[in-house]
């Protein structure tokens, strides 16, 4: 199993705006070694009915799942209990939502069902 950090920005692209709403992150165990340009898909739990609008090349589209592309795979070292540990970090493509309300629903889904957290040190327009 590979342990990875996953980082994803949620960006509001409704109308003429392009604004980062927040950054999601999680530590996940994966059975495969992730590579750049692969996709990660996150599906809702059975019985969940959350729906949100994502921006697509053909316009807004109602969705119930999130799909992102791995843009960057990086590694870094940290010292823990006298030994050096190497960690892997994935930076993924953004989740382009239509509105702030859609961002709230996406974040509710990703934090409540997929184990992500909102980065407490980054931008968080949903906090207010």
All structural domains of the chain with their residue ranges: 2-118
SS3 64: coil
The region, left, alpha or beta by phi > 0 then psi within -120 to 50, assigned to residue 77 is beta
Per-residue model confidence (pLDDT) at position 14: 75
Q: What is the chain's mean pLDDT, rounded? A: 93
Distance CA 27, CA 115 (A): 8
Local confidence band at 52 (pLDDT 50, 70, 90 cut-offs): very high
What percentage of the chain has pLDDT greater than the value 90?
80
Taking CA 93 as the corner, what is the angle to CA 90 and CA 94, rounded to the nearest 5 degrees? Answer: 120
pLDDT in tens, 65-83: 999 999 999 999 989 888 9
DSSP-assigned beta bridge partners for residue 5: 27, 89
* Alpha helix positions (H), 13-119: 100-113
């Amino acid at each position: 199993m590979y342990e990875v950090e996953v980082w994803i920005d949620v960006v509001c692209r409704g109308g003429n705006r392009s604004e980062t709403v927040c950054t999601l992150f999680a530590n996940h165990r994966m059975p495969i070694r992730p590579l750049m340009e692969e996709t990660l898909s996150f599906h809702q739990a059975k019985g969940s009915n959350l729906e949100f609008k994502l921006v697509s090349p053909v316009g807004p589209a109602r969705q119930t799942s999130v799909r992102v592309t791995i843009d960057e795979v990086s590694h870094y070292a940290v010292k823990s209990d006298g030994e050096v540990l190497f960690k892997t970090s994935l930076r993924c493509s953004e989740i382009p939502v239509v509105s702030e309300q859609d961002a709230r629903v996406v974040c509710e889904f990703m934090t409540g069902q997929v184990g992500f957290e909102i980065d407490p040190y980054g931008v968080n327009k949903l906090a207010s």
